[in-house]
Amino acid sequence: MRKKTANITCLIPIIDQSHRSGEMVSWQHFQIQGTLAVSENPNSKIMKSKKIKSIFMAFAIAFLLLLNDTVVLSQYGWMIRGAGVASDALVKGISFADVNNGMLVTTNFSGYKVYRTSDGGMNWTGQTIPTSNGMWAVKYFNPSTAIVCGASGSVYRTTNGGSNWNQINPGGSYFLCAFSFLDNNTGWMSGGPLQILKTTNGGVNWTSQSSFSTYTYSAIHMFDINIGFAVDYFQRIVKTTNSGVNWLDVSGPSGFDELWGVFMTDDSVVYSCGENSKIIKTTNAGASWTVYNAGLQRNLYAIHFVNSNTGYCVGDSSLILRTSNAGNSWEVQSFPPTEATSSSSLTCISFVNSNTGYVGGNDGTVYFTTTGGLSPMQNISSEIPDRFELKQNYPNPFNPATTIEFDIPKESDIRLEVFDINGKVLEILKEGRVSPGSYRYEWNAGNFSSGVYFYRLTAGKLVENRKMVLIK
């Protein structure tokens, strides 16, 4: 036996971790050197240089792809989260008590029905709940208290962050699938058949309110203590103006059968979404409705607004829609058009504030944004700079967000990354080809601890580094 050393230079695809289907966004050169113990037999195939290089190439690819899996790419407005959630889980509800503490529920008959995160969705831990029924909705009031509901009248409540769950009797074996709470005490729960229920003590007790006998209410939203809307799987829309004592049928336009989401931005403006990428809106409390068609022929399962103009809608094929003009037009946010056939169906959405939000779906999918789904990098000047420059971030020190600006004098392939004091790359903020110009990147370090960090800009052979300090 003797040793043989080989130097291998190879192109490795860098995979965008923010992309569920793993879009290849760039290629990087890597060189790896290694030594093999090989047979002295001249007829041994392993002596052939091509075979040796193939072995090293396979090792290099496996190692570097594994290494790359630890790096988050943040160049899209939405990033993948959800480590720890079962890959076969259908996430049906997601709720955050604050920017760090959240819960999600799944409809799986086996495995965990509830997951909890304490680091803003980076990692999720399964919570043991004493039922085999799938869960459909969750409300997380604070880091200690949450309530979930699901099939066969399943309602469970925790007051210790999910360590223990107490069963609540809603008064029947209903299919329960949605919550709408005004505060920690007053809320409504919908399902079917027949059911809209109300609580005034945080879900400990529930009272049935529905006056209809055949509907399954897929979503409910109460705007205030008196006014609210609910929708069902058979195109029915009902409203209350007296805190749910009575519900009136104000069904919308014909043309599609199923409605899955509803949201109110004031006491007379209501949105609902359903099959075939249709969104309906009323500005007169249900007296008339306008139909908006996103034109993508995909079902839409949930809708949420962060203010009167800006809203989001999610659905089949990893579709995330955003409006900034009160629903008059909607733009696709989730992925480039080439990814329109992605198989994930997104079924729920929750925002902590106007910029920080989460969506969930099948295959254990959880996406996350700190920019309202918008790309965190913007071209801020039409003038072409005369030199390559990476500027000092501001503010600095910062908590938790800071701005990084840089100038690119000619069209270049760039890489903007953040790494720690040990040189470990933590996030690749931008990678790809950009036009000449001045750029601004808003980086949110909400999921990182206090400390010294560095950011690096590479453009061809040009490299610049700067230091920044996160103080929480």
Per residue of the chain (472 residues), what is the pLDDT tens digit?
444 444 444 443 333 333 333 333 333 333 334 443 433 443 444 334 444 444 444 444 334 333 333 344 455 678 777 788 998 899 999 999 998 899 999 998 678 899 999 988 889 999 999 888 899 999 999 999 999 999 988 999 999 999 999 999 887 778 899 999 999 999 999 988 778 999 999 999 999 887 565 678 899 999 999 999 999 877 789 999 999 999 998 887 766 668 899 999 999 999 999 988 889 999 999 999 998 876 677 899 999 999 999 999 999 988 899 999 999 999 888 553 333 345 678 999 999 999 899 999 988 889 888 888 887 888 898 789 999 999 999 999 999 889 999 999 999 999 999 999 999 998 888 888 899 999 999 888 877 899 999 999 999 889 999 999 999 8
Same domain, 162 and 106: yes
pLDDT value for 144: 96
Residue where the block lists tokens 């099939």: 151
pLDDT value for 396: 97
Same domain, 88 and 7: no
Same domain, 182 and 328: yes
pLDDT value for 17: 36
Complete DSSP assignment for 395-433: SSSBSSEEEEEEEESS-EEEEEEEEETT--EEEEEEEEE
Q: Is the peptide bond before 397 cis (omega within 30 degrees of 0)?
A: yes
Domain boundary among 369, 403, 425: 369
Lookup: tokens for 166: 């107490």
Same domain, 142 and 249: yes
CB 159 within 8 A of CB 204: no
| 3-class SS of residue 144 | coil
pLDDT value for 37: 40
* Alpha-carbon Rg for the chain in angstroms: 26
Can you give the CATH number for the domain in which 441 is found?
A: 2.60.40.1930
Same domain, 139 and 43: no
Residue where the block lists tokens 């210790």: 160
Same domain, 169 and 122: yes
Pairing of strands 125-127, 135-140: unpaired
The contacts of residue 86 (CB under 8 Å, 6+ apart) are 106, 108, 111, 112, 126, 364
Same domain, 50 and 131: no
Same domain, 45 and 132: no
Same domain, 160 and 260: yes
Same domain, 173 and 44: no
The contacts of residue 70 (CB under 8 Å, 6+ apart) are none
Domain boundary among 319, 348, 369: 369
Claim: this prediction has a pTM higher than 0.75: no
Same domain, 330 and 388: no
pLDDT value for 343: 64
Q: Structurally, how many domains does the chain consist of?
A: 3
Same domain, 292 and 439: no
Can you give the CATH number for the domain in which 121 is found?
A: 2.130.10.10
Domain boundary among 70, 93, 113: 70
Q: Which residues constitute the domain of residue 229?
A: 79-369
